[in-house]
Chain A
C-alpha cells in the first residue's frame, strides 16, 4: 500500500546514545515533516523539508538533526538522547508545501523511550 513508512516502531535508548529514525514515502510527495506527540501537548513540528534539498526548523528543533536523503527519504537523528525526548515520533508528507490545501499523510509512528 502506498504511504509513509517509518522504522523502527519501538526503541529504547540510554541517555547520551544516538540514533536515527528513518522515514520513506512512495507517493511522489515533495514535502516531508517530522512531528513529536506528547500527552497534553498535541503534535509539534520538529523539522520539515519543503522540497528535496531543503530543510527548515519547526517549533521544537533543539536536540535533533535531519537529512533529506532524496525525494523519498527524510531521516531524523538524535545525537545525544535525553529523557525529555521520550515521545512518539511521526513522519508525514504532503504533495506541495506552501499551498495550504494539501492534507498530510502520516506514518504509523516510532515510540521512543530514553532512560
Chain B
C-alpha cells in the first residue's frame, strides 16, 4: 500500500548545523509530496511541496527535491536555528478515482540547541 517512511528521531543539532531529514515513499501512481511542520502546541503547517518529479520545493531556507528514481523527498536546511525546533512530517497525496488520500510519515522531532 501507499506509505511514507521518515528517519527516526529525535534529532538534536547545534545552531547553524546542516540538517537532513530523510523521507522515502511507496505509492501507486505519481503522488504529490509535502513537508509539514508542527511547532509545540500548534497544528500542522505546510512547509513546502512538490507535485512532479525533479520539482524542488523551498520555504524558510528549507528545501526538498522530488526524486522519482529513488522515491525520496529528503528535507534539507543549510543552517538551522533554535526556532526550527519542531516535529517535521513528510506526506504524500495520491489520487484515487476522483478522490485522494493523504498519507503521513510518523514524524521526526528536531531539537536545535543554542
Interface residues of A (CB under 8 A from B): 4, 33, 40, 42-43, 45, 50, 56, 90, 92, 97-101, 103-109
Complex contacts, B31 vs chain A, CB 8 Å: 100
Q: Tell me how far the C-beta of B62 lies from the nearest C-beta in chain A, rounded to whole angstroms.
A: 14
Complex contacts, B93 vs chain A, CB 8 Å: 100-101
Most buried by B among A45, A56, A100, A108: A100
Closest to B106 in A: A42
A41 to B50, CA, bound (A): 25
Closest to A97 in B: B100
> For chain B, which range describes its interface: under 10, 10 to 19, 20 to 34, or 35 or more residues?
20 to 34
Main secondary structure of the interface of A (DSSP, over half): loop
A-B contact pairs, 14 of them (CB 8 A): A4-B43, A42-B105, A43-B89, A98-B98, A98-B99, A99-B100, A101-B49, A101-B51, A103-B34, A103-B49, A106-B44, A106-B45, A108-B42, A109-B42
